[in-house]
């Protein structure tokens, strides 16, 4: 089975459609690691796509913000404005879907998915100490997580040593394969579809082949200006519009 692993789509339909087209024929099933909404201009279309296509989807903090005012209260100004706007746009059916999304971590067929840390759904995994802490919380050899929007990964070798994986995908290169080795453990962040960081504006995602035991890191250039125009037309905060130009 080949899995399309998507995280942090953030209502960016333009980026999502580009990713789906780029990965066409390369996957059998879809997994979403949360944050379908927030920031971007097309929350309903993105949620409807996930409802129709995702075999597994867990909630992210921006999904939870649609029904939990405490989450919104912890957001910065721009995220709060975007969350309130998104909440007003969502249809009842789509809101209900977000409300019913399971909390991670979730074990699927042979691997684990989480929006952020397995130990705490609101915690960011950023440093080695965070990763070492996380290793205590899962039994499968492979975890996919999101939340930081950073395409990255970590692995432990047979001696328990922690190694960082920094997939380098310069412009002109769209994918990079990582062979998973038996007995080793991996935490992999596919990066964000809808608000990519790493100073790279291209949409980020992964494809995992559980027969070949490899993970491909992908980058797909999408029409950033089209998303930005839609955001401006919706009156979304300019800081959110601008950051898409810088991939940060």
Q: What sign results for the dihedral spanned by CA atoms 148, 90, 64, 72? A: positive
Least gap, CB of 58 to Zn ion (angstroms): 13
- If the CB atoms of residues 35 and 200 are measured against Zn ion, the closer one turns out to be 35
Q: Is 121 a residue that touches Zn ion (CB under 5 A)?
A: no
- If the CB atoms of residues 37 and 95 are measured against Zn ion, the closer one turns out to be 37
Interacting residue with Zn ion among 9, 15, 16, 35 (CB under 5 A): 35
- If the CB atoms of residues 115 and 185 are measured against Zn ion, the closer one turns out to be 115
Q: Is 8 a residue that touches Zn ion (CB under 5 A)?
A: yes
Burial, 89: exposed, middle or buried (Cβ in 10 Å; 0-12, 13-18, 19+)? middle
- If the CB atoms of residues 63 and 134 are measured against Zn ion, the closer one turns out to be 63
> What stretch of H or E contains 20?
helix 13-22
Number of residues this chain uses to bind Zn ion (CB under 5 A): 2
Q: What tokens does 52 get? A: 């129709």
For β-strands 203-209 and 29-32, DSSP reports them as unpaired
The residue range among 34-42, 162-170, 174-182, 223-231 that interacts with Zn ion, by the rule CB under 5 A, is: 34-42
* CA 213/CA 87 separation, integer angstroms: 39
User: What is the contact surface with Zn ion in residues (CB under 5 A)?
Assistant: 8, 35
């Amino acid at each position: 089975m080949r899995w399309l692993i998507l995280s942090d789509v953030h209502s960016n339909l333009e980026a999502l459609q580009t990713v789906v087209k780029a990965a066409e024929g390369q996957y059998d099933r879809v997994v979403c690691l949360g944050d379908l909404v927030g920031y971007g201009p097309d929350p309903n279309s993105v949620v409807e796509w996930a409802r129709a296509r995702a075999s597994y989807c867990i909630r992210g903090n921006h999904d939870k913000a649609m029904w939990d005012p405490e989450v919104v209260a912890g957001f910065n100004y721009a995220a709060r404005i975007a969350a309130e706007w998104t909440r007003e746009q969502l249809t009842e059916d789509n809101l209900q879907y977000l409300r019913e999304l399971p909390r991670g971590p979730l074990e699927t067929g042979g691997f684990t998915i989480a929006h952020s840390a397995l130990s705490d759904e609101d915690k960011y995994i950023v440093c080695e100490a965070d990763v070492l802490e996380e290793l205590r919380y899962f039994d499968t050899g492979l975890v996919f997580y999101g939340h930081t929007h950073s395409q990255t990964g970590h692995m432990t070798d047979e001696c328990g040593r922690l190694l960082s994986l920094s997939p380098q995908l310069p412009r002109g290169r769209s994918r990079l394969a990582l062979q998973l080795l038996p007995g080793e453990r991996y935490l992999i962040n596919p990066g964000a579809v809808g608000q990519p960081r790493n100073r790279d504006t291209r949409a980020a995602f992964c494809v995992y082949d559980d027969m070949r035991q490899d993970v491909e890191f992908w980058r797909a250039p999408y029409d950033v200006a089209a998303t930005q125009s839609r955001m401006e037309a919706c009156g979304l905060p300019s800081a959110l519009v601008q950051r898409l130009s810088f991939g940060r």
